[in-house]
Amino acid sequence: MNALNKSNNRSNNTPAQASNHKRKRSDVALMSITPRKESNNEPLKRVKPTIDLTVVLQKVQNILACINIESQMISLNDKGIDDDCLSLIVQELYVKNNQIRILSLNNNLIGDRGAQVLSEFIPKFKCLEILYLNGNHLSNLSVEKLIISIQQINHSIKVINLEKNNVNKQQLESIGIDLSKGQFKI
């Protein structure tokens, strides 16, 4: 009986009371997604910054508008391309032109996630012979994965230029990556 009376009381609320009730719920929802402050026992949780997808899409559209997407040589040097942009650009290139022979991505902001994207998409570009990645932010680990994926599929790539990255040639050779063929320029 009490439960019935309580439910009737809720339905008899004025609109102002109902909106207060809703406001309290939304306040609780907002509080639950805001990061907690550091307490004595718990360190502050790091919140991963979110990307603004509209900004990334606009940047990708601007970059692609500047090139002849149907060319066999695509030069995207010095465009400020980061990992998020690279993922969208590579997908768009594959859809519009998978006959690219030379892809130049020198002096951008491509990091380890971008190298992962490339290692997944390179097998789809059957005609790709030369890949320039000079002056990016690639580490030994991402370069290792990229090189291994290319070697495993016995791809048509003849040259990958990885100069001016965060790569140690001796470390790559120590884990068994053969750089003597001249295919990989580090």
To the question of pTM greater than 0.75 for the whole model, the response is no
Using an 8 Å Cβ cutoff, are 124 and 91 in contact? no
Residue 74's DSSP bridge partners are 103
Extract the residue ranges of the chain whose pLDDT is less than 70: 1-51, 154-155, 175-182
Torsion angle of the four alpha carbons 60, 62, 68, 70, in this order, in degrees rounded to the nearest 10: 30
The C-alpha angle with vertex 34 and arms to 48 and 25, in degrees rounded to 5, equals 140
The CATH superfamily assigned to 53-185 is Ribonuclease Inhibitor (3.80.10.10)
In this prediction, residue 22 carries a pLDDT of: 45
Interatomic CA distance for residues 180 and 177, integer angstroms: 9
* DSSP assignments along the chain, one per residue: -HHHHHHHHHHT--HHHHHHHHHHHHHHHHHHHSPPPP-SSSPPPPPPPPP-HHHHHHHHHHHHHTS-TTSSEEE-TTS--BHHHHHHHHHHHHHH-S--SEEE--SSB--HHHHHHHHHHGGG-TT--EEE-TTS--BHHHHHHHHHHHHHTT-S--EEE--SSB--HHHHHHTT---TTSSEE-
> pLDDT digits over 104-122, tens only?
999 999 999 999 999 998 8
Residue 75, phi then psi, degrees to nearest 5: -110, 115
In this prediction, residue 52 carries a pLDDT of: 76
> pLDDT digits over 121-136, tens only?
888 888 999 999 999 9
In this prediction, residue 181 carries a pLDDT of: 64
Residue 132's DSSP bridge partners are 104, 161
The residues spanned by each domain of the chain are 53-185
In this prediction, residue 70 carries a pLDDT of: 82
